[in-house]
Amino acid sequence: MTEPNSDCLQYFVTGTSEEEPRSSSDADGSREQPFTSLRQALEALGTDTSRTPSSDGNRGGPTVMLTCIARAGASPPPNGTPSHQYFVDPFTPARGKGTEQAPWDSFEVAYAKLTDLARSQQLALRVGDRLEICCREVFTATALEKWKNIKEAIAKYVFLTMALTCFLPVVVILTFLLVKAWPALSVDFLVTNPQNNLTAGGIWAPLIGTFFLVLTSLLVAAPIGILAGVYLNEYASDNWITRIINLAVMNLAGVPSIVHALFGVGAFVHFAYMGRSLLAAACTVAVMTLPVIITSTREALAAVPMSFREACWNMGATRWQTIRTIVLPNSIAGILTGVILQVARAAGETAPILFTGAVLYVPIADAGWEYMVPYGPNDRFMALSYHLFALSTQIRGISDELLYGTAVVLIGLVLLVNSFAIGLRIFLRSRKKW
């Protein structure tokens, strides 16, 4: 017997029958006196307790290795993957199959099972084959678990690649815009009105117009959208009218923005006699953003456990008291997130305001009250999105710094609003008690 290391007990079996078969007492499993058959080797190991290693499951145990060589004294084949591998684990139930998932509970059982297989000629070794009986350590991953971990890692990095594929173009675009717009970006650029036929100055007039547009549309859309979401989730029963309303909300979310603009012209500019004004444009944008608010409100309300409502009803509260005191306070994070996302979308839309109230240029004061509040509900106004469109297509002789600076401010405004929505949602969720 030879021992390559302290954790491996190696025995040899000859793969030829040229020599006289030895008895078990003559063969000891060494290279000079190998066993003449696998059956003889297994019977010898099973009957000689001195050759049975102790299997301490906490640290594993020695590996019993049977290597088939051509003849006595021949060199063993180089180590590689064993052709037959079985496992022992003393902490498993007695009934096992010798596999890594269902090992035998001792080396004695392993020798007995393998001897039966050798007798029935279901197990044999050819020259160069190697049979191993390993003691599996406790809490170690099996080959199947390792393969699952590999597949999990592959999936993880594939998804990471997909995420970076979406993220990196945004970084490249923003970097390009910042480099182009850097010479124009300053505080004066934000607080100065356009000058010299929009070819110089800043963007205060369209910037403040965008704030007025967003604020007015928010005042129109938020109450309607939130109350509609409350009705659909808390009051409406599942009937054909509710299903039609839900279908209408989903279809409204998929209508192109230019169609909303044409609707705004017909519904608000002409039918409601608002004319082309800030109010007409804000109402058009509000209609366009209603599906976002309604959907986010319904999802936030549905996330509140029904047990909260039932507990409140059992205390004698009415449905409205339950909604006002229990449901709405626990769903405010999701509702506010939808409302703030509406703000980001309203700030970046061009088509809905193109025909309903936005104009190329409106002269406003450079100081005073009219500088801070330059637009009324019935006034036409300037907006950043339309201002950028006009600079790109209708104004000649404009510098690249001014053009890219306007684009960076508009994108920055949208990113700022979205970031605020995410931060607010995280903060409110952290304060939840459930």
pLDDT tens per residue across span 305-352: 888 888 998 888 888 999 988 898 888 888 888 888 788 888 888 888
* CA 12 – CA 60 distance, rounded (Å): 23
Which residue carries 């979401």 as its tokens? 229
Split into its structural domains, the chain has a count of 3
C-alpha distances (whole Å) from 48 to each of 65, 73, 107 are: 16, 23, 12
Q: Are residues 334 and 276 in the same domain?
A: yes
Q: Are residues 260 and 293 in the same domain?
A: yes
The gap between the terminal CA atoms of the chain, to the nearest Å, is 66
Which residue carries 């021992």 as its tokens? 3
Q: Are residues 210 and 330 in the same domain?
A: yes
Q: Are residues 33 and 149 in the same domain?
A: no
Last residue of a domain, one of 114, 140, 166: 140
Q: What is the pLDDT of residue 365?
A: 87
* CA 226 – CA 335 distance, rounded (Å): 8
Q: What is the CATH number of the domain that holds 423?
A: 1.10.3720.10
Q: Are residues 146 and 93 in the same domain?
A: no
Q: Are residues 117 and 245 in the same domain?
A: no
Q: Long-range CB contacts (< 8 A, 24+ apart) of 413-422?
A: 413/210, 413/347, 413/384, 414/344, 414/347, 414/348, 417/340, 417/341, 417/343, 417/344, 417/347, 418/340, 418/341, 418/344, 420/340, 421/336, 421/337, 421/340, 421/341, 421/344, 422/337
27 CB-side CA count, 13 A = 27
Buried-state track 14-43, b at ≥16 Cβ within 10 A, e below 16: bbeeeeeebeeeebbbebebbbbbbbbbbb
Please give the model's pTM, rounded to 2 decimal places: 0.65
Last residue of a domain, one of 181, 204, 230: 181
* CA 295 – CA 43 distance, rounded (Å): 74
Given a cut of 70, the residues of the chain with pLDDT beneath it are 1-7, 16-25, 54-61, 93-94, 137-142, 432-434
* CA 97 – CA 47 distance, rounded (Å): 21
**Span 348-407, pLDDT tens digits:** 888 889 889 888 888 888 888 888 989 989 999 999 989 888 888 888 878 888 889 999
* CA 205 – CA 409 distance, rounded (Å): 13
Amino acid, res. 270: H
Q: Are residues 284 and 404 in the same domain?
A: yes
Q: Are residues 107 and 132 in the same domain?
A: yes
Q: Are residues 97 and 29 in the same domain?
A: yes
Token reading at 405: 């600076």
Entry field: residues in the chain? 434
Q: Are residues 9 and 60 in the same domain?
A: yes
Q: Residue 154: give the domain boundaries.
A: 141-181
Q: Please say whether the beta carbons of 382 and 206 come within 8 A.
A: yes
Amino acid, res. 290: L
Q: What is the pLDDT of residue 60?
A: 52
Helix (H, G, I), strand (E, B) or coil at 406: helix
Which residue carries 């007492």 as its tokens? 25
Amino acid, res. 233: N
Q: Are residues 111 and 226 in the same domain?
A: no
Q: Which of 250, 218, 282, 262 is nearest to 351 (CA)?
A: 262
Q: Are residues 333 and 425 in the same domain?
A: yes
Q: Which of 78, 70, 74, 83 is nearest to 131 (CA)?
A: 83
* CA 76 – CA 12 distance, rounded (Å): 8
64 phi/psi in degrees, rounded to 5: -90, 125
Last residue of a domain, one of 154, 181, 208: 181
Sort 59 into a burial class: Cβ within 10 Å, 0-12 / 13-18 / 19+: exposed
